Structure 1
Amino acid sequence: MVRSGEQARRGQRGSGRQGTVKAVRRAEVRLPELTAWDGGGLEPDGDYDGLEFADLDLAGQEGTGARFMDCALRRCALDEAGLGRARFMDSVLEGVRGVGTDLAEASLRDVEVVDARLGGVQMHGAVLERVVVRGGKIDYLNLRKARLKDVVFEACVLVEPDFAGAVLERVEFRDCVLRGADFGGVRMADVDLREATELGIARGVDALSGAVISPAQLFDLAPALAAQLGIRVL
């Protein structure tokens, strides 16, 4: 487990981030005036445009393949919600909560996820492009074989996230806690881990090629790296 202090992070900020890793193209969502959703439950392959879903219980709803464009989901319960292959574009998910939400093979583009409280979210095979995950806590996030491009995890807590077999390009972990992360078989390019406040890697230390870490993190990762290379330190 790596804990990088504020002094180390300041030193890295001063060393020229742009010269060592390509900057993430952050999502900047600007929602139009929204109409409150007053319909019933979600529908498979439903088409939702310019709507606000606020304080709703969407637990167990089936929205497989649904399309959300210029929408906001605020403080909604998403327990066991079926949103596999759903598409979220230019949208905000704020204060959503739930266990077992199914977002397998979903597509998120220009999306902000703010202060989410989720557990066991299934996002294997999903595609995330220009996504910001800010605040909140997500336990057992399954991103196996997902594709992440221009994604920022900021000031959030990720407990045992599973990135196994995923492709990460221009992904940044800023003031973010990672505990028990699985990076097995991941392909990385310009992945910035330097400002993770806590970095715990359970598997996949050998797959960090393409990532950037701080000197303090390298020191703490040394035992795991040595074990991976078969080096005994006596």
Structure 2
Amino acid sequence: MKIISRKNIQPPQLPKALPSGSIAALQDEDEVSMVLLSACDMANTSAAHLLFEKVALKRVSLAASQHAKPRFVDCLLEASDLSGIDWEQARFRRVAFLGCRLIGAQLVDAEFEDVTFKECTLENAVFLSANFKAVRFEHCQLREASFESADLPGVVFDDCDLTRADLRQARLSGADFRGSRLDGVQAGAQELRGAIVDSTQAIQIAGLIGLIVKEYGQEVDE
């Protein structure tokens, strides 16, 4: 997949060619840099304070891994399995997730800056109290994902499925939901203030906050 640079979102700054490598295990404070990791199995690993910098991870499994405060800088994760990860206080800067599985991922108190998620599956992912700056979700499955108490100013959700997503107490000023599915989203008027939606979504949201939408001349049920 080709990484497309979006306005105000910086893509990963990766060399055109990276030497191939492999990892069998991860330990606390490991630093991985300037390498292409392909088809590596790092599932169920546990470590703290990892650093991945200028790394491409393709078809890698990190499923069910538990990493405290990992950092990813200038990284590409493509067609990789991150289902069930528990990465508290993770930090991502100039990172692209392309075609990855993050089903049930726990990313509590995470920080995302200049990050793109494209064609990823993030059903039931938890972004509790996460901070998003210059982030775009494109063609992603986010059914029942939780963004409770997250900071999402200006985040773009382009053609995403946010059915029953939890946006309670989230800060959504400037967040752009146009073209995405919002059926059953958990959010109120306070959370949705300043969010950008299309006309069809506006009718859905009116129902969420208790408004009754009727054309002029239609009777209103008592």
- Check whether TM > 0.5: yes
Residue segments in structure 2 that go unaligned for 5+ positions in a row: 1-5, 212-219
Cα root mean square deviation, aligned: 2.0
Letter in structure 1 aligned against 2:139? A
CA distance in 2, matches of 1:59, 1:155: 26
Higher RCO (Cα < 8 Å, 6 or more apart): 1
| 1:176 maps to 2:157 | no
Match of 2:25 among 41, 66, 77: 41
Q: Please name the residue that 1:163 is paired with.
A: 147
Given the two structures, how large is their TM-score scaled by the length of structure 2? 0.87
Match of 2:96 among 103, 112, 115: 112
SS of corresponding position for 1:90:
strand
2:106 maps to: 122
Relative to total residues, which structure has the larger helix share, 1 or 2?
A: 1
Residue 29 of structure 1: aligned partner: 12
Check conservation: 1:24, 1:170, Cα contact below 8 A: no
CA contact (8 A) 1:179 1:201 kept: yes
Q: Compute the displacement of 1:55 (Å).
A: 0.5
Is 1:67 the counterpart of 2:40 in the alignment?
A: no
Letter in 1 for 2:143: V
Across the two proteins, how many residue pairs are aligned to each other? 208
Which moved further from structure 2: 50-59 or 27-36?
Answer: 27-36
The structure richer in strand per residue is: 1
Picking from 124, 148, 159, the partner of 2:132 is 148
Q: 1:165, CA displacement in angstroms?
A: 0.6
1:185 corresponding residue in structure 2: 169
The answer to whether the aligner puts 1:202 opposite 2:185 as a matched pair is yes
Which position in structure 1 is the counterpart of 2:215? none
Instruction: Please tell me whether the aligned partners of residues 52 and 71 of structure 1 are also in contact (alpha carbons under 8 angstroms).
Output: yes
- Amino acid aligned to 2:179: E
1:163-196, CA deviations, whole angstroms, 9 ceiling, x for partnerless residues? 1111112200011111111110111221111121
Q: Deviation digits for residues 126-150 of structure 1, max 9, x if unmatched? A: 0001100000211111001010011
Deviations 1:60-101 (A, max 9, x none): 112321011100111111221122310001101111114311
Deviation at 1:34, TM superposition (A): 1.5
Identity %: 27
Query: Is residue 2:212 matched to residue 1:221?
Result: no
Does the 8 Å contact 1:24/1:151 carry over to 2?
no
Shift of 1:24: 5.6
The alpha-carbon distance between structure 1 residues 85 and 222, as it changes in their structure 2 partners (threshold 3 A), is same
